[in-house]
Amino acid sequence: MKVIVTAPHGNKFLNDVIAGHIIKHLVKLLDKTDIQYETFINEEPRSSGDQNRPPARDSPYREALRESLVEGADLLLDIHGFPNSTTSPFKGHDIVVLRSYKTQGTLPAYYYYLLKNVSDPTMKVGLLPATAENDVVKEALEHGIPAILIEHNESQASELLAKIHCKCLKIIQVENGL
Ligand SMILES: [Zn+2]
């Protein structure tokens, strides 16, 4: 199984500050499995261009990602973060799977179900509709790669969140014979 992991808002100080940390821990865990992966973390601040919106498609970040999309993968996880103080619909959640496009099929609900099953019962997991274009997910779907966007509460431990994703990926690998 091959997974592409992205963080289009991966600046460690300004935007989605937890995203890069989750991916760093996830990579260490995946190295102990036979799951192949590629990661794409955009360190540029979101203010210099939102890499998750359609106008960013010709940026160096998106062009590097596209090469991987063309090669193909079994899944793309788009990793985001939000502050605990958010007033958005994410408020009160620890992890939120976004339903962005009909072409995602049952994947958002499936991943939500896996997250609920592998995480501690105190962890509040949500499945919510996206309110904006998630262009990384959209472009992956255009290349036939199943893709989802996942938001993470930045008050949670990035290592724990990475462990939860690694467990979900291992289940996906087994259940889908990948
Ligand atoms: Zn984000």
Q: Which domains does the chain have, with CATH numbers?
A: 2-175 (3.40.630.40)
- What mean pLDDT do residues 37-58 have? 95
Q: Ligand 1 centre and the CA of 174: distance in Å?
A: 29
By three-state DSSP, how is residue 93 classified? coil
Which residues place a Cβ less than 5 A from the ion ligand 1? 9, 16, 80
Quick one: pLDDT band at residue 101, thresholds 50, 70, 90? very high
- Tell whether the model's pLDDT for residue 23 goes beyond 90: yes
Quick one: pLDDT band at residue 124, thresholds 50, 70, 90? very high
- The C-alpha atoms of residue 170 and residue 4 are separated, in whole angstroms, by 14
Q: Tell whether the torsion through CA atoms of 49, 105, 127 and 165 is positive or negative.
A: negative
Q: Ligand 1 centre and the CA of 18: distance in Å?
A: 10
Buried-state track 23-32, b at ≥16 Cβ within 10 A, e below 16 = bebbeebbee
What residue spans of 35-157 are helical by DSSP H?
A: 60-71, 107-118, 135-142
Q: How many Cα atoms sit within 13 Å of 115 on the Cβ side?
A: 26
Q: Ligand 1 centre and the CA of 173: distance in Å?
A: 26
Q: Ligand 1 centre and the CA of 177: distance in Å?
A: 31
Quick one: pLDDT band at residue 83, thresholds 50, 70, 90? very high
Q: Ligand 1 centre and the CA of 71: distance in Å?
A: 25
- Tell whether the model's pLDDT for residue 162 goes beyond 90: yes
User: What is the pTM assigned to this prediction?
Assistant: 0.97
Quick one: pLDDT band at residue 48, thresholds 50, 70, 90? confident
- Per-residue tokens: 133: 């274009």
Q: Ligand 1 centre and the CA of 10: distance in Å?
A: 8
Q: Ligand 1 centre and the CA of 103: distance in Å?
A: 21
- What mean pLDDT do residues 105-120 have? 97
